[in-house]
């Protein structure tokens, strides 16, 4: 991926309401104005990197970029799952992300169970790979504190 790392910042908005409720994986979603800034050659798929809410602590994250074929979305989205449990809604707060690497292309699934299994596999993959020392520069990047 020639456009990585990729940094984005924007307000967290309501998404489709599926992450927490249907999938058990809450997501922080960007508005179309942020999604539309993605480089045109950044492929749809699942990525991993780091995220921060309101310039606070920096956490590992997994992000889905694309159309979510299982749900037949009509708008491209950026849905971030932060590997941290927040005890509040994050709507209206600022999300900063740094996308570091690609996990897999987006794809359709035969069932919600298959989708959840893939998401959990993506989370495990990101959690393990983000411990690599090569990512320390980004884990502590000044972008998260500007």
Catalytic (active-site) positions: 79
Contacts of 17 (CB under 8 A, 6+ apart): none
- Report how far Cα 134 is from the mean position of its chain's Cα atoms: 20
Query: Residue 34: is it exposed, middle or buried by C-beta count within 10 angstroms (0-12/13-18/19+)?
Result: middle
Q: Does the CA dihedral 85-132-97-117 come out positive or negative?
A: negative
Per DSSP, helices labelled H in the chain are 32-35, 112-129, 136-139
| Residue 63: other Cβ atoms inside 10 A | 26
Q: Percent helix, strand and coil across the chain, each rounded to 5?
A: 25, 30, 45
């Amino acid at each position: 991926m020639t456009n990585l790392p990729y940094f984005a910042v924007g307000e967290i908005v309501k998404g489709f309401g599926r992450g927490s409720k249907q999938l058990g994986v809450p997501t922080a979603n960007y508005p179309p104005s942020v999604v539309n800034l993605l480089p045109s050659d950044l492929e749809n798929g699942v990525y991993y990197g780091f995220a921060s809410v309101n310039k606070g602590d920096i956490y590992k994250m997994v992000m889905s970029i694309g159309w979510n074929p299982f749900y037949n979305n009509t708008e491209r989205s950026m849905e971030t799952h932060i590997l941290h449990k927040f005890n509040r809604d994050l709507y209206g707060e600022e999300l900063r992300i740094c996308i570091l690497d690609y996990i897999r292309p987006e794809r359709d699934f035969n069932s919600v169970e298959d989708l959840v299994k893939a998401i959990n596999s993506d989370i495990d993959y990101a959690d393990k790979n983000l411990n690599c020392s090569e990512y320390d520069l980004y884990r502590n990047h000044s972008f998260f504190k500007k």
